[in-house]
Structure 1
């Protein structure tokens, strides 16, 4: 996740069948923000000269190696800001692994704003949605903390989950971090606004075209655009698989590309490998259900697992809606 810029952060996965409703309200405000949000190349050069103690930890998190991120988080003598970022990444990794209560218990009221924001995400995902959103709104109304980048990231993530995309963009559109830019790409894709997603991607490429999040965002946009772009997305995930530890995020990315290219046997093989890594991963189960349908195989086992473990997943909601519509249609002609 940015959870998962997934939820779970995996906040960044999507099934081949997913189509979020587009929010077609005017985007003039966000267009202005995109024009203003240009990278500071001097600042980037200065930052490049500073040792990045958390590079490996961030990379593990972005690519879905959550347990590895936790296991490798004991980094000695970190500066205070890096130590806080480390703690944020570790707790977000626990959230991505479904350990919501652990995060809720460990972060108390004296913790910094960034960790309090992470706790709100854990509360939201642990079915305390109303309380989490109410607390989030209070934090966002406090001028002293409302511009905190992690708070803005969590706000954008939660409102994206709620499909309140314009509300999400109010808190993320000004960017400021690579994760916020990457989340903007996700949100615009869900709004079926690939043009705005492409503008965000270009900003990321100007800042650091080789950054893992830039490459991920590029792959998401390629998938959204379809056609020959899907092969380019596949090559990005293939490159990840050759450079880094194989994760469910990478396997699902490659599998979705394969499904778009009608290579369902290859997709199934990749997804079964992902299932061996995490038998309860929502995106793996959803993608396996879709892939099985295309292969003419039973999908009920994967769907039932998904319904039990992730009842709010978009595929589960869409199936429930379709079943309700069918039942009403039958009753109308009975």
Structure 2
């Protein structure tokens, strides 16, 4: 069982975080929690702040983390997201050497190392985990990014031997299914469909997942229903906006409203940067042909 979610106290905030419901994470009350659960809840809340663009505030709040390797790992992630890359990597290296067995050091340190382009170092650190689904999910994400789908699938098979039915494991399995394609698209759809029909798991991110599966299955009307449900729940989420743009392009509809919102919400978003680069390239090519026609 994942040590990040094996406590009933952590069940709700764990699920909220991994569903991307960051504002709900910050609003979640931890009154009456045991000390270990309270610490892990704080970590989820700090990570939610970082995800919402408040990394500098987290760095300031975690000025003194000498007494907690877990909080120091959070600080390392916040430093990285705040643009202090060298300080972040230095802190991660110190933690790996002194507290490499800590689950939060493994996961958060793994995130920093991967973001810094050190994927193999991240995988080595994550491989030290002891029954942590958070480590498994991150390992799966890295393997998929490397296009090593077979290794990602292997992680799921191994995790199912010891991990109970869990939101994070279900999501990781759906990611792999979407990457494998073919008949697996339907399996991914079933996973997301079940999540969207479960009150505790029904949110923007799960509806986006369902929409992606529908798109791959060629079911555009169903995908639009799912995207609309995601927009109703979080119309400012970059993940929702990017997938809404993609769907509307496929449908041949005007997607400018989503594009403008994305520019405001996340101007450095990888999809947006790529979109603008390709748009500029298209304009350059079109101008060349226009000149030929005029001549």
Tell me the TM-score range normalised by the shorter chain.
0.7 to 0.9
Task: Find out whether 1:141 has 2:93 as its counterpart.
Answer: yes
SS in 1 for 2:64: coil
- Equivalent pair of 1:73/1:86 in contact (CA under 8 Å): no
SS in 2 for 1:307: helix
Q: TM-score, normalised by structure 2?
A: 0.84
The aligned counterpart of 2:208 is 252
Larger helix proportion of the pair: 2
RMSD, aligned CA = 2.7
User: Following the alignment from structure 1 to structure 2, what is the Cα–Cα distance between the partners of residues 238 and 163?
Assistant: 34
- Equivalent pair of 2:89/2:112 in contact (CA under 8 Å): no
Q: TM-score, normalised by structure 1?
A: 0.75
The aligned counterpart of 2:248 is 292
The equivalent position to 1:171 in structure 2, one of 121, 125, 142, is 125
Q: What does 1:1-334 correspond to in 2, within 5 Å? A: 52-78=8-34, 80-110=35-65, 112-125=68-81, 128-129=82-83, 131=84, 133-142=85-94, 143-162=97-116, 164-176=118-130, 177-245=132-200, 246-323=202-279, 325-326=281-282
Larger Rg: 2
Point out the more displaced range, 114-123 or 254-263: 114-123
Q: Which has the higher contact order (CA 8 A, sep 6+)?
A: 1
User: Following the alignment from structure 1 to structure 2, what is the Cα–Cα distance between the partners of residues 220 and 252?
Assistant: 12
User: Following the alignment from structure 1 to structure 2, what is the Cα–Cα distance between the partners of residues 266 and 189?
Assistant: 26
Shift of 1:311: 2.5
- Equivalent pair of 1:285/1:303 in contact (CA under 8 Å): yes
Q: Describe the shift of the 1:135–1:170 C-alpha distance in structure 2 as closer, same or farther (beyond 3 A).
A: farther
> Unaligned regions of 5+ residues in structure 1, if any?
1-43
Q: Describe the shift of the 1:77–1:212 C-alpha distance in structure 2 as closer, same or farther (beyond 3 A).
A: closer
> Unaligned regions of 5+ residues in structure 2, if any?
none
